Amino acid sequence: MPKLTLDDLDVRGQRVLVRVDFNVPLSEEGDRRRVADDTRIRAALPTIRALLDRGGRAILLSHLGRPKGTPDPKYSLAPVADHLKTLLGNGTGRATRVDFVPAVTGEAVKTHAAALPEGGVLLLENTRFHPGETKNDDALAAEWAALGDLYVNDAFGSAHRAHASTVGITRHVRQSAMGYLLQREVEYLGRVLESPDHPFVAVLGGAKVSDKIGVIENLLDRVDHLLIGGAMSYTFLKALGHATGKSLVEEDRLEEARTLYERAGGKIKLPVDHVVATAFENDAPHRTVTGDIPDGEMGLDVGPATLETYRSILLKARTVVWNGPMGVFEMPNFARGTFAVAEALAEATRHGALTVVGGGDSVAAINRSGYEDQVSHVSTGGGAMLEFLEGKTLPGIAALTDR
C-alpha cells in the first residue's frame, strides 16, 4: 500500500475524523424515515470498531443523497444515527455511545466533539447540507479538521470526488489514512488492474457504451477476453453492420465502437443470440433469435448460445471483473443472462479465480441472484470503481498520507 492505513495510526486518546459512506436508501413510514438497506453502514463497522477498541473516538462525516448545499430534512442523517446505535450497541459486548448532532458546522458541533468521551461516536449531519462540501471549500475543511486529530477515509463510493470531506480536510490534519473498507477496495481493484493472473476476463454490460468506453480502453490491453452484454452490445453489433431492430443503440458512438472492436483484435466477444421482445415490458411477447434482430423487436437479454460461450470462457479464467448487467434483469423474463453470469463467477471463484463485481445495478443484480457471498469481492463504489478501472487517480485516495 502506498498510503497509510488505519493500522499505521496510533489512535489511542485521539479524536479521529472518519469519512464514511452512509449514503443509504431510506424508506418512509408516515412521517418517520428508516434505513431501508444498511449494507453500507455495516461495511463501515470494522473501521469504527477498530478505532474504538484501540482507545480512539470517532467523529463521522457522510453525505446522503443530493441536497443542494442547504439543510433538507429529506436527506437528514438522523435515521442513520438511530440505526448506527442499534448496530454498534449489539455484538460489541459493551454498548457504544453514539451521538448525533443535527448540524454540519458551528458551536453545537464543536461542543459535541470536544465532549466526546473515549469509546464515543459522534455523527454530524449530512455534509452536503453545507455548500462548501462539493466545492472542496478550504475554510469548511479546516473547521472539520479542527474537531479532531487524525483523519480516516473509508468512503470508497466518494473517493472519485474532490470534496471538503474527502480531499480538503486532509490538508489540515497530521495524518490521513485509508480505513479497512477503502483498503480492501484498493487491494482487490488494484490486483485486478496491476497483477491479474491469466486468463483475465472482463464482463461488461449495462445500458450505455458511452459510460464504459474509458473502462474498455484501459482494460483492452490487460485482458485476454472482454465479454460484452446488455444494451451496449447493440451499439457494437450495429457498428459491425448487424440489424438491431428497436434495441437501444447509441448512434453517436458507432464509429467509436467499431474502432474499439478492431483495435481489440478478437478479444471482444459479442452476443450471437438474443432474447427479443416487441416492447420494453416484462410481459411483452418474447422469443430467442440468432444473429440479426428483426424490425419491431428489441434485444433485452443475451441468448442461451451466447451464455454457453461466455460461461466456458469464465470457467477457465483466473481473474474476472464484472460491471454491467447482461440484460434488463429487473424484469424476470430478461434476467437469465445476468443471473447465469453471476452463477459462472461463483463457480469460477470456487475453482480459485479472483472475481470482482461492481456498479450500482450490477451489485443489485448479484444480490438478487443470491451469489453475492460466492465471489471474491463486491465493490461498494459505482462511479468510483469505474474511474479506478479507467486507470484514473481517485482524488480521495491521492490526498491521503504517503507511507
Q: Under the rule (CB under 5 A), what is the footprint of Mg ion?
A: 360-361
DSSP string over 234-272? HHHHHHTT--BTTS---GGGHHHHHHHHHHTTT-EE--S
Q: Does 379 bind ligand ADP (CB under 6 A)?
A: no
Task: Assess whether 208 carries a catalytic annotation.
Answer: yes
134 binds ligand ADP (CB under 6 A): no
Q: Which stretch binds ligand ADP (CB under 6 A): 67-75, 125-133, 200-208, 214-222?
A: 200-208
Q: Which of 82, 224, 256, 330 binds ligand ADP (CB under 6 A)?
A: 330
Asked if residue 22 lies in contact with residue 40, where contact means CB atoms within 8 angstroms, the answer is: yes
Separation between Cα atoms, residue 243 and residue 257, nearest integer Å: 15
Angstrom distance (rounded) from CA 230 to CA 310:
13
Beta bridge partners of 322: 203, 357
Q: Specify the DSSP element, H or E, that contains 320.
A: strand 319-323
The stretch near ligand ADP (CB under 6 A) out of 39-47, 205-213, 286-294, 392-400 is 205-213
C-alpha cell at 106: 458551528
CB of 325 to ligand ADP, least distance (A): 5
Burial class for 323, CB neighbours closer than 10 Å (0-12, 13-18, 19+): buried
DSSP letter at 294? Answer: P
Segment 217 to 236, residues that bind ligand ADP, using CB under 6 A: 230-231
Considering the complex, state which of residue 211 and residue 347 has its C-beta at the smaller distance from ligand ADP. Answer: 211
Binding letters toward ligand ADP, positions 296-325, x by CB under 6 A: ---xx----------------------xxx
> What is the pattern of x (binds ligand ADP, CB under 6 A) and - over residues 31-50?
--------------------
Rule CB under 6 A: say whether 361 interacts with ligand ADP. yes
Tell me, what amino acid is at 1? M
- Measured from the CB of residue 358, what is the shortest distance to Mg ion in angstroms? 11
Helix, strand or coil, per DSSP, at residue 275:
strand
Q: Among residues 211, 224, 281, 372, which is the contact residue for ligand ADP, using CB under 6 A?
A: 211
**Contact in structure between 314 and 348 (CB atoms under 8 Å):** yes
Buried b (16+ CB within 10 A) or exposed e, 56-77: bbbbbbbbbeebeeeeeeebbb
**Opening angle at CA 20, ends 17 and 23, nearest 5:** 145
Does position 381 interact with ligand ADP (CB under 6 A)? The reply is no
What's the CA angle centered on 284, arms 283 and 288, to 5 degrees?
110
Q: Which of residues 340-359 bind ligand ADP (CB under 6 A)?
A: 359
Residue 354's SS3 state is: strand
Residue closer to ligand ADP, measured from CB, 180 or 322: 322
Catalytic residue among 69, 119, 214, 360: 360
Nearer to ligand ADP, 138 or 372 (CB): 372
Give the strand pairing for 150-153 and 176-178. parallel
Chosen from ligand ADP, Mg ion, none, partner binding at 211 (C-beta under 5 to 8 Å by type)? ligand ADP
- Name beta bridge partners: 323: 204
360 noted as active-site residue: yes
Using the minimum distance from each CB to ligand ADP, give the nearer residue, 79 or 359. 359
**Number of residues assigned to the chain:** 403
Selection from ligand ADP, Mg ion, none that 362 binds (CB < 5 to 8 A by kind) is ligand ADP
Which one of ligand ADP, Mg ion, none interacts with residue 248, CB within 5 to 8 A by kind?
A: ligand ADP
Binding partner of 330, given Mg ion, ligand ADP, none, CB within 5-8 angstroms per partner class? ligand ADP
**Of residues 157, 206, 245, 396, which one binds ligand ADP by CB under 6 A?**
206
* Partners of 225 in beta bridges: 201
Catalytic annotation, residues: 40, 208, 360, 383
Which residues sit at the interface with ligand ADP, rule CB under 6 A? 205-207, 211, 230-231, 248, 299-300, 323-325, 327-328, 330, 359-362, 382
